[in-house]
Chain A
Amino acid sequence: MTENIKIRAGKLNLQYGQKHALRDIDLDIEKNRVTALIGPSGCGKSTFLRCLNRMNDLIDSARIQGRVEIDGTDIYGKDVDPVLLRRKVGMIFQKSNPFPKSIYENIAYGPRIHGVKDKRTLDQIVEKSLRGAALWDEVKDDLAKSGLALSGGQQQRLCIARAIAVDPEVLLMDEPASALDPIATAKIEELIWQLKENYTIVIVTHSMHQASRVSDTTAFFYMGEMVETGPTQKIFTSPSQKRTEDYITGRFG
C-alpha cells in the first residue's frame, strides 16, 4: 500500500494572519488515481490544494506547519526549491488562464523556460501535449492563433496541455470545470479519466456529481478540517461521519 502513496500530508496547518484555514490535515493521495476534495465554500479544500505545489508561498500572511511529502520528500524542507517542485506538480486553475500568446507559444512556454530550444523538440512537445489534452484535432491548423480566441472549454484544455508540457507527475485541478457548460465539462471529465493513467490527479470540485463521476477517492473538508476520506463509492453511499452525510445529502453547503 505505502508504495502507492504519492502525496502524504501530515498534521498540516495553515494560518492566514488570525484565520486558521487548515487544521491538522492528514491525507494520503494515491499514485495514478483521481482524488477529489469536496466541501462547502471556505472549507479549506482549495487552500490545501495550493499547499501541494507551494502556491501559498506567494501569500505573505500564510504560515504553514506540518509536513507534505511527495515521494517521501518533505516539500517544505529547507533544500526544496519551490520552482523545481512546481515543474513536478502542475496546476490547472478555476478560471482558465492562457497567456495572451499563440496556442503554440502557450504550450512552448514551460519547456522553453526549462531550457528546450530545439524547434523540432518543441514542435513534438506541443503536439504531444495538445493530443494529451484532447485538443489537437480542434486546433492543429491554427497553432498560431491566440489562445484567447478559443472557447472556454478549449481554453481550459489548452491550460491542461500547457501543464502537461513540462512533464509533471501530479496535476492539481482547482474547480477546473466550474465556469464551463455541461458539454465542455463532460469533455474535461473524460480527459481526467484518461490523464490518470500517467498522472496523479487531485481535483477540487464544488459539484458532488463531478466528484462521484471522476474520482477514485474522495476527501470531505469542513471548516478547515479533513472530516473523512475513503473510496468515492463509499463516501457517497455510506459515509461514516454525520457531517459528511449531511453535506452529501444536501442538508447544508
Chain B
Amino acid sequence: MSIPKKWVGRGVALVTGGSAIATVLTVLAIMGIIVYGGIGHLSWDFIFGSPEKGMTEGGIYPAIMGTFFLVLLMSLVGVPVGTVTAIYLNEYVGQTSKVGRSIRFAVNTLAGIPSIVFGLFGLGFFISFMGGGIDKAFNGGELLWGQPNILWASLTMALLTLPVVIVSVEEAIKSVPRELREGSLALGATRLETIWKVVLPQSMTGILTGAILAISRGAGEVAPILFTGAAYFLPELPDALTDQFMELGYHIYIMSTQSPDVEATKPIQFATTLVLLLLTFTLNFSAIFLRWHLRRRAIR
C-alpha cells in the first residue's frame, strides 16, 4: 500500500540533488555563453575606445569610467554614513532597545525595496525636490541641478547600498572584544576616544569589506540610475557633478533595446557583459577574502 521508505529517501535525494545541479548548471551556462560570446571581442581597443557607428563598433571606455566615477562618489557618501550608523547601532543604543530595533527594521526594509523604487525616489527627491529647489533658489529657475546627473545618481545608489555597508561594518564592530573597550575606558578614555582609537582601527577590514560589497552591488544595478543620471551616449567623460555619464549595465540595456541595429551590437553586448561580470566578481572575491581574513583575526 505505502511506498517503501527506501524509495522515498532516494526520491528526496534525487529531487534535492537535481535542484542543486540545476543551479550550478545555470551559473555555468550563463558564464559559458557570456565568455564564449564576448571573449573574442575583448581587446585593449575595446576597453579604451569610445562607442562608434551607433554602438556597432568601438569600445566602452566612457561606460567603464562612468561606472568607476559613479561607485566612487557613491562610496564617498555611503561608506561614512553606513559606518556611522553601524557605530551608533552598536555602541550607543542597546541591542534590544526600541530605538535600535526600529533602526534595524528600517535598514532591513531598505534592503528589501526594489531598486526601481530607489530610481523613482531619486528622481522625485534628489532631482525634482533638491535639484529643482537649488535651481529655484540660486539659479533663478534656470535648469542646472534639477536634471539627471552623476551626483544624484551616486546619492541614489548610496541609499540603495547603505544596508550592505551597515551590516558589514556592524559585524566587524561586534567582533571587537568587549575587553578591549573596557581596557580603554578603564584608562579614563571617553566612549568616543575608545571608538576612534580602539574600535574603528580594529574594524577597518570590515569597513573595507562593506565598501567593496556595496560597490559590487552598485556596479551591477541599472534601475536606480535609469532616471537619475545615466546617459544613452556620451563620448566625453563627466567632469562636473552636474554632468551625465555612461554606465556599463545601462549601456548593455541600451544596446540590447534601443540601438538602431540590435543584431550588430551583439558581440559588443557580450563583451560588455563580460567586463561587467569580471568587475563585480573581482570585487566580490576581494570582499570574501577580506572577510575571511577578518574572521581569522577575530578568532585569534
Interface residues of A (CB under 8 A from B): 53, 55, 58, 60, 83-87, 90-91, 93, 95, 97-100, 109-110, 113-114, 159, 162-163, 166
Interface residues of B (CB under 8 A from A): 94, 177, 179-180, 182-190, 193, 197-198, 202
- Contact flag A97-B180 (CB < 8 Å), given A60-B94, A83-B190: yes
B198 and A86 contact, CB distance less than 8 A: no
- Which one of A53, A60, A97, A166 contacts B183 once the chains associate, using CB atoms below 8 Å? A97
What is the chain B residue whose CB lies nearest that of A92? Answer: B186
- Contact flag A83-B189 (CB < 8 Å), given A93-B179, A93-B182: yes
Q: Chain B: interface secondary structure?
A: helix
A110 to B190, CA, bound (A): 11
A-B contact count (CB 8 A): 59
- Which one of A60, A95, A100, A113 contacts B187 once the chains associate, using CB atoms below 8 Å? A113
B183 and A93 contact, CB distance less than 8 A: yes
- Contact flag A83-B188 (CB < 8 Å), given A99-B183, A159-B183: yes
With A97-B182, A163-B187 given, name 6 new contacts (CB 8 A).
Answer: A83-B189, A87-B187, A95-B179, A100-B180, A100-B202, A159-B183
What is the chain B residue whose CB lies nearest that of A89? Answer: B186
B188 and A109 contact, CB distance less than 8 A: no
B179 and A97 contact, CB distance less than 8 A: yes
**Which residues of A have CB within 8 Å of B187?**
86-87, 90, 109-110, 113, 162-163, 166
What is the chain B residue whose CB lies nearest that of A106? Answer: B183
A13 to B184, CA, bound (A): 26
A55 to B188, CA, bound (A): 11
**Which residues of A have CB within 8 Å of B186?**
53, 55, 86, 90-91, 93, 163
**Which residues of A have CB within 8 Å of B188?**
83-87, 110, 113-114, 166
B189 and A113 contact, CB distance less than 8 A: yes
16 A–B contacts, CB within 8 A, in A order? A55-B182, A83-B189, A83-B190, A86-B185, A87-B187, A90-B186, A97-B177, A97-B179, A97-B182, A98-B183, A99-B183, A110-B188, A113-B188, A113-B197, A162-B183, A162-B187
What is the chain B residue whose CB lies nearest that of A91? Answer: B186
**Which residues of A have CB within 8 Å of B193?**
113
A99 and B190 contact, CB distance less than 8 A: no
**Which residues of A have CB within 8 Å of B198?**
99
A99 and B179 contact, CB distance less than 8 A: no
**Which residues of A have CB within 8 Å of B179?**
93, 95, 97
**Which residues of A have CB within 8 Å of B182?**
55, 58, 91, 93, 97
**Which residues of A have CB within 8 Å of B202?**
100
**Which residues of B have CB within 8 Å of A110?**
187-189
Pick the 8 closest A-B CB pairs, nearest first. A87-B188, A97-B179, A91-B186, A110-B187, A97-B183, A86-B188, A113-B189, A83-B190
CB distance from A75 to the nearest CB of B (A): 13
**Which residues of B have CB within 8 Å of A113?**
187-189, 193, 197
In this complex, which of B182, B187, B193 has the most chain A Cβ atoms within 10 angstroms of its Cβ?
A: B187
**Which residues of A have CB within 8 Å of B94?**
60
A202 to B189, CA, bound (A): 21
A100 to B183, CA, bound (A): 12
**Which residues of B have CB within 8 Å of A98?**
183
**Which residues of A have CB within 8 Å of B184?**
99, 109
CB distance from A192 to the nearest CB of B (A): 18
CB distance from A200 to the nearest CB of B (A): 16
- Contact flag A99-B189 (CB < 8 Å), given A60-B94, A109-B197: no
